[in-house]
Structure formats: C-alpha cells, structure tokens
Amino acid sequence: MSSTKKKELDLSIKTATILIEQKARDVCIIDLKGISDIADYFVIASGSSQKHVQGLSDKVHETLKPLGESVISTTGKVNGEWIIMDYATFIVHIFYEPTRQFYDLDSLYKEAKRVPLPKELENHAKKLRTGMYHCTDLWKFSAKKEKSNKIAINEQITC
C-alpha cells in the first residue's frame, strides 16, 4: 500500500475513532475504491439528536485541522439532520438517526467492503451499535448462512 493510500485509511480510522469517542452510533468505514470516484472512503455515523450530530461534526473538524486536514466543504450543519464533510479522499457522513434510516446510504453501498476497525476500537464501537446497520463484513457471512439455512429448511419441507 502506498504511503498516500495508507494516510487516507489512517485518517478514516482516526475520524471513526473521534466519532466513537464522542458516542456516535453505528460508526463504519466503507471502502469505495473501484466502486466510486467520489472518494476512497466514506465514514458514516449516527448521532442521537441534531445537537449531537452538530457536536460530532465540530469535534471531527477540531481534531483533524491541527493535523493539517482541512475540510473542502461542509453541508447540512445548520439543521443537523445529515452533515457531509468532504475531505477529498474521504467523506464523513454524520446522520441524525431517523434521517440515516430514511436515506439508507449503507444499503446503497452494500457491495462495498467495510474496513475493519482496530480491535480495541471495535470493542468500544460494539457498545454503540443499534444492530440496524452492517458496519462490518461479518454480516455478509451471516446473510449467506441464513440464506443457506432457509434453502435447507425449504428442501426439507418440500421433500
């Protein structure tokens, strides 16, 4: 992996860390390389209120700016329903939970690879998951297993 690609990934993980430390829910990183030209990564998270969403956005900005990372543009900050922070190589989507459910951005990119979080961060993130979104690639295995179980049950019934 080139140093630029590693930096992009590290910044995405750093952003996820900031969000998790601030009690964002269902934080996940989606690898868009080869799927979209918009960015290499999406970092997606939910806040429990519009003020929480705005606070999460502020914290990401305050933490990344001293690292030399300037946001190109930010939209949605005023109402706090869905804030999009464009850092060129990665985009941060911070949703108010009902808005995330409505737009279902996670499903739009369901074929994209989910970036695993470092183990310690993952353990903390698990406590903040609602179970509504697939923040790891483990769900693909469960879905395949569930589908094969349904097929086996249907075969037993029809036999």
The whole-number pLDDT of residue 126 equals 80
pLDDT of residue 141: 40
DSSP assignment letter at 54? H
What pLDDT shows up at residue 2?
65
Q: Which of 66, 74, 85, 89 has its CA nearest to residue 7?
A: 89
DSSP three-state, residue 27: strand
Tokens 């060129």 sit on residue: 88
For position 142, what pLDDT does the model report?
40
CATH architecture of 3-158: 2-Layer Sandwich (3.30)
Residue 38: count other Cβ atoms within 10 Å of its Cβ: 10
**pLDDT computed for residue 156 by the predictor:** 39
* pTM to 2 decimal places: 0.80
Q: Which residues contact 56 (CB under 8 A, 6 or more apart)?
A: 19, 22, 24, 45, 47, 83, 94
Mean pLDDT per block of 10 residues along the chain (159 residues) reads 77 96 94 93 96 98 95 96 96 96 91 90 78 52 43 39
Tell me what pLDDT residue 90 has.
96
Sheet holding 25-31, edge to edge: 73-75, 82-86, 90-96, 41-47, 25-31, 113-114
Domain boundaries, given as residue ranges, for the chain: 3-158
Token code pair at residue 35: 């799927």
Instruction: Provide the pLDDT for residue 158.
Output: 36
